[in-house]
């Protein structure tokens, strides 16, 4: 599993102008079952994506197609991690060698 941190490199007006294309990219990745959740950082200096991929290289290739990245509006950092404990509702995304917390709803 991966956390992708996007950092804006251009003014928000330029980010907002490209938002429609970025959201289309996100939706395509969700339909491909690559993204789990995404949203803006607070304060608004970039974004965060929770992702799954077969490899870091696969995710890097995918992120290069993000219009924000492709057009030089944002850079990204990928942080790989393995779940060690998770909410039961998250089980289908968690590392299969870990366990859900008992009694959580």
CATH number at residue 23: 3.30.70.1060
Residue 62: domain span: 2-100
Q: Which residues lie below 8 Å from residue 41, measured CB to CB, with a gap of 6+?
A: 5, 6, 47, 48
Total domains, the chain: 1
Identify any residues that bridge with 2 across adjacent strands, giving them in sequence order: 51, 80
pLDDT, tens digit, 9 for 90 and up, residues 5-62: 999 999 999 999 999 999 999 999 999 999 999 999 999 999 999 999 999 999 999 9
Confidence band for 91, pLDDT divided at 50, 70 and 90:
confident
pLDDT top residue among 25 and 105:
25
Decide if 105 is inside a domain.
Answer: no
> CB atoms < 10 A from the CB of 50, how many?
15
Decide if 14 is inside a domain.
Answer: yes
d(CA 78, CA 56) in angstroms, rounded, equals 8
Q: Which of 71, 19, 72, 69 minimizes the C-alpha distance to 44?
A: 19
pLDDT of 28 reads 98
d(CA 10, CA 90) in angstroms, rounded, equals 34
> CB atoms < 10 A from the CB of 80, how many?
12
Decide if 67 is inside a domain.
Answer: yes
Decide if 56 is inside a domain.
Answer: yes
pLDDT at 4 over 90: yes
Decide if 46 is inside a domain.
Answer: yes
pLDDT of 105 reads 73
């Amino acid at each position: 599993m991966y956390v992708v941190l996007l950092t804006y490199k251009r003014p928000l007006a330029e980010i907002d102008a490209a938002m429609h294309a970025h959201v289309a990219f996100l939706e395509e990745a969700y339909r491909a079952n690559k993204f789990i959740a995404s949203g803006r950082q607070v304060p608004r200096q970039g974004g965060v994506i929770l992702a799954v991929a077969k490899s870091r290289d696969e995710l890097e290739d995918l992120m290069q197609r993000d219009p924000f990245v492709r057009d030089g509006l944002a850079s990204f950092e990928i942080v790989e991690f393995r779940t060690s404990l998770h909410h039961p509702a998250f089980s289908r995304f968690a590392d299969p060698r870990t366990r859900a917390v008992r009694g959580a709803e």
